[in-house]
């Protein structure tokens, strides 16, 4: 598998790993998403207000659950932030 497709497969696997903890694997509860953010961004300081704002942003349809499309919004935003950081900082490898 190409590096690109392998990366996409990893994103899907991470979503399903966290979504199946207390459901059928098709959605993340607010609790699951909060745990995911705390775990995956453990190297960064945790500001409860910022995490709540991220969760509100992701729950764009207001149902209190994060489906895969909403999860991808986070992936795209983080990828974009990393891209800009690497452009200005240590550079792309």
**What are the domain boundaries of the chain?**
3-88
Q: Is residue 38 within 8 Å of 55, Cβ to Cβ? A: no
Does domain 3-88 match CATH 1.10.238.10?
yes
CA distance 53 to 60: 11
Residue 93 has a pLDDT of 53
- Concatenating the DSSP letter of every residue in 22-74 gives SSSSSEEEHHHHHHHHHHHTTTSPP-HHHHHHHHHHH-TTSSSEEEHHHHHHH
What pLDDT score does 11 carry?
Answer: 93
Residue numbers in the chain where pLDDT is lower than 70: 22, 43-50, 59-61, 89-93
Q: Looking at residue 46, what is its pLDDT?
A: 63
């Amino acid at each position: 598998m190409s590096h690109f497709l392998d990366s996409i497969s990893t994103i899907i696997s991470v979503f399903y790993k966290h979504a199946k903890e207390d459901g059928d694997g098709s959605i993340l509860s607010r609790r699951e998403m909060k745990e995911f953010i705390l775990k995956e961004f453990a190297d960064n300081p945790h500001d409860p207000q910022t995490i709540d704002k991220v969760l509100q942003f992701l729950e764009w349809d207001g149902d209190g659950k994060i489906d895969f499309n909403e999860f991808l919004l986070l992936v795209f935003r983080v990828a974009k932030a990393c891209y800009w950081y690497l452009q200005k900082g240590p550079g792309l490898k």
